[in-house]
Amino acid sequence: MTQTLDVAENSWYLFNIKQAGFYRVHYADNNWELLTEQLYKDHRIQIRQLIKQLNVIIVERSFISPVLLVFYLSMLRLTLTRLACQAEHHSCVKMATEYYRNWMLNPSQNLIPPSLRPAVYCTAIRIGGQKEWEFLKQRLLEVDIKEDEKNSILQALSCSRDMWIVRLHLEWVIKNNQKDPQDLLDALSSVALYPIGQTLLWEHIREAWRFIMNE
């Protein structure tokens, strides 16, 4: 149902008296100005209701939008950093290797920003060799490791360009995740993120299938 109200040009109007309805009213700017003037003249027109709605609008306009903007910009920064490192952009690779080298010099103090760790770890493993890979694998064995850090490390350990290292990682993953099927699935999924890992994982599946069929 639609109702049309005729309101004089310089007259204010107020809906949802005593907040009887579960909805929020958005007034035109000129009506807010008229309501403000009315408050100065006669404060008995649902002051609490008006203040509440004004506060909501202030919050929406002055807080939520900037927060969302900061969030989206941070997500964009992470995406661009990841893509730059994948493309082996000089500045990104230099940043990642320096972060990782400093961490290796002082393993107890990881100064890599948490948001950059997936890109830094993967780049360091891809550019580096066995020493870098073994260092990161040891971090995975730490007792107090957090779940997001564990996932970042598992994925990064598969970033190596050396097939023998990825094969070593695959064997280690299968051996050390036998108790929990979900952990094994997550670990194997991380191996399958990259071409070398996909090839080795497919070879392993075919070999396991042949073994099962011959039993």
**Domains assigned to the chain:** 1-62 (no CATH), 66-213 (1.25.50.20)
Residue 73: per-residue pLDDT: 74
Q: Tokens 């890109």 — which residue?
A: 119
Give CA angle at 88 (86, 89), nearest 5°: 115
| Phi-psi sector, 160: left (phi>0), alpha (psi -120 to 50), beta | beta
pTM of the model: 0.60
| Phi-psi sector, 46: left (phi>0), alpha (psi -120 to 50), beta | left
pLDDT of residue 211 exceeding 60, the answer is no
Nearest CA-CA partner of 28 in 45, 43, 11, 40? 11
Condensed to tens digits (0 to 9), the pLDDT of residues 48-94 reads 555 555 555 545 555 556 666 677 777 778 888 888 888 888 999 99
Q: Are 55 and 64 in contact (CB under 8 A)?
A: no
Residue 117: per-residue pLDDT: 92
Q: First-to-last CA distance in the chain?
A: 73
Residue 50: per-residue pLDDT: 54
Q: Are 145 and 114 in contact (CB under 8 A)?
A: no
Q: How far apart are CA 210 and CA 215, in angstroms?
A: 9
Give the residue with greater pLDDT, 50 vs 194.
194
Q: How confident is the model at residue 131 (pLDDT cuts 50, 70, 90)?
A: very high
pLDDT of residue 111 exceeding 90, the answer is yes
For residue 195 the two structure tokens come to 């071409």
Q: Are 200 and 191 in contact (CB under 8 A)?
A: yes
Q: How far apart are CA 112 and CA 102, in angstroms?
A: 9
Average the pLDDT over each of 109-113, 160-164, 190-194 and give the range with the smallest value: 190-194
